[in-house]
Structure 1
Amino acid sequence: MELKLLVTFEKVATVLSFTRAAAELSYAQSSVTAQIRSLETDLGTELFERLGSRICLTEAGKRLLPYACQIIALHGEARAAVTGRGGSGEPSGMIMIGTMESLTSYRLPPLLELFHHRYPGVRLSLRPTLGDATRRALREGTYDIGLLMEPDTAHEGLDSEVLCEEPLILVSGPAHPLAWRTRLTTADLAAAALVGTEPGCPYRDLFEAELRPCGPPVFTEYGTIEATKRGVAAGLGIALLPRIAVGTELASGELMALDWEPPFTLFTQIAWRRGKRLPAQVLLFVEQARRLAREQASPGSP
């Protein structure tokens, strides 16, 4: 059974008129009649009863109709899954995205808002994982896309693009003893109470490695960036965080930037499994992420 014949059959069965079906399908009526006869010949049974100027489904036609509808629907779903575009031509399909809290909360909102309003057929599933877990899931095919914040820009088994350099800043509460000191050294920091997110977070791990020569650093772990910021603002310690995550608190004076420059650099990157042919909706996500990164890096951008 050809799909085209089933589409014609479904239309005629729905409107119960060869003339109207021909008009809605933009066919000549003779073409619709020929297609139905071809389908009936293929199946060896009549699908419609001709009652003068009216038609109705035979018992065989009634049994075929739900199958025809399922086949047509499955064809549309398969096309959308492969091409990332539904029957309307709009992007559609699921994108599994591995990302970390700082990017989800402070980099991605404009991109998520864009897809919500402009591409409602694309469903984004954000999975909170850190770098090693994200890279492993990408290589295994569990995720379509990964958003990484790493010092390295080459990853085994993955293709990746740098979206932007991710500035880091060391912060304290305004009443902290280090808040007004200049030219802080690593030894100064190692002697202070430290607040951080969980191990495995790239900037936490790099900061910890930097402090280790002065003795094993001990962090009070708050889990999330928001909880970490509140602990720091309350005077419970100092923390190294992405600058994008503390802009509001720095502007209000709730947090203070300490006079220490991190000796390492992190890059926000988008990555996928090497050699993978990306579906259209995933390519669209990559393109929009690039565009957003360019706009955020341009002069005068917020």
Structure 2
Amino acid sequence: MIGLELRQLEYFVAVVEERNFTRAAARLHVVQSAVSAGLKTLERQLQAELVHRTSREVSLTEAGRALLPRARDTLAAARAAIDAVDEVRGGIQGEVRVGVMASLPDIDLPAALGRMHADHPRVRVRLSHRPGGSRELADDLAAGRLDLALLSEPGPAGHRLRLTPLVSVGMHLVMAPTHPLAGRGAATLAELADDVFVDFPIGYGIRSIVDRAFTAAGRSRYVSIEVTNAETAMAYVRHGLGVAILPDAYVHPGPTLRITGPGSDDLTWSLSLATAKNRHPGAATDALVALIEETAQQRTRHAGRKGAME
């Protein structure tokens, strides 16, 4: 790695993650020609082509796949070194890449980010969603494309993450007032096997939890409508187009049932703050993690006091 510049590695990682030179340049706030020239210089120094270039996107070569994790590790080590000096000088700077789900019940993320901006104005926070839900967030976090994420069910990448639980709630069945079960207080998953369901796409935490519960109950189900947020799910349910099993934090007033019997023990939804086990988060990420945890604790205490008063 002697003779390589950190900036060249930064260009390489950005091009790979954005899969496009124009988007990489915009992300790094430089002109596209600088990114292209920097990557060509890196390839010349390594005497290997790192990416396949097409008119629409780029993809990794075998040499690029070998370099990518080491490039990320090198950049992370450089950021940690800068963080150490900044802490001595009394300030934190840099960038934190945060991945979040479409909705975050009981977490006032804007408040946490507002405090972060006030306390550490030199830190840039890049906030983004993932169409693949919690599993895609977990994959991107484990691969180094994110610094932290707020997610529910991480899936196969979970063992590579450090998870801090923030919220944990039960799940209930919601249905239209005209549904045959609407007047009851509870139902089993077996009784719901013939119903049509409204649910989230595969990869989303809620979908994973409900699928796992039906498997534990030895039953299958039919998902007719897939949505990416709970409000849309509730709208379809209200019009009688299906039933849904949702976390209490998402459920609006209306008919709800407890789920009992086999599989019901699996129906608990949790929201966690996640970082990768194999990388040091860095001072800026640590500071934001602390603020998000504090915000979550404040909301929990407020909800507890409100419940006690009621």
| TM-score category, normalised to shorter length | 0.5 to 0.7
Count of aligned residue pairs for this structure pair: 220
Q: Which has the larger radius of gyration?
A: 1
* RMSD (Å), alpha carbons: 3.4
Q: Which of 218, 233, 241 is 1:236 aligned to?
A: 241
User: Corresponding residue for 2:291?
Assistant: 288
Task: Give 1:176 shift.
Answer: 2.9
State percent identity of aligned pairs.
26
Pair 1:124-2:129 in alignment: no
What is the rounded CA distance, in whole Å, between the counterparts of 1:270 and 1:230 in structure 2? 29
Pair 1:200-2:203 in alignment: yes
Is the 8 Å Cα contact of residues 135 and 204 (structure 2) preserved in structure 1?
Answer: no
Task: Give 1:91 shift.
Answer: 4.1
AA of the residue aligned to 1:263: D
What is the rounded CA distance, in whole Å, between the counterparts of 1:290 and 1:151 in structure 2? 19
Task: Give 1:118 shift.
Answer: 5.0
Is the 8 Å Cα contact of residues 163 and 269 (structure 1) preserved in structure 2?
Answer: yes
Q: What are the equivalent positions in structure 2 for 1:1-302 lying under 5 Å apart?
A: 82=83, 89=90, 91-103=92-104, 108-116=109-117, 119-129=120-130, 130-150=133-153, 155-211=158-214, 213-246=218-251, 249-250=252-253, 255-260=254-259, 262-264=264-266, 265-298=268-301, 299-300=304-305
Q: Provide structure 1 residue ranges, at least 5 long, that are not aligned to the other structure.
A: 1-77
What is the rounded CA distance, in whole Å, between the counterparts of 1:244 and 1:116 in structure 2? 28
Q: Compute the TM-score of the two structures, normalised by the length of structure 1.
A: 0.61
Q: Provide structure 2 residue ranges, at least 5 long, that are not aligned to the other structure.
A: 1-78
Is the 8 Å Cα contact of residues 153 and 269 (structure 1) preserved in structure 2?
Answer: no
Task: Give 1:162 shift.
Answer: 1.8
Is the 8 Å Cα contact of residues 95 and 144 (structure 1) preserved in structure 2?
Answer: yes
Is the 8 Å Cα contact of residues 195 and 238 (structure 1) preserved in structure 2?
Answer: yes
Q: Compute the TM-score of the two structures, normalised by the length of structure 2.
A: 0.60
Structure 1 residues 291 and 193: alpha-carbon distance in aligned structure 2, compared to 1, 3 A threshold: same
Is the 8 Å Cα contact of residues 172 and 258 (structure 2) preserved in structure 1?
Answer: no
Structure 1 residues 159 and 223: alpha-carbon distance in aligned structure 2, compared to 1, 3 A threshold: closer
Structure 1 residues 220 and 87: alpha-carbon distance in aligned structure 2, compared to 1, 3 A threshold: same
Is the 8 Å Cα contact of residues 101 and 129 (structure 2) preserved in structure 1?
Answer: yes
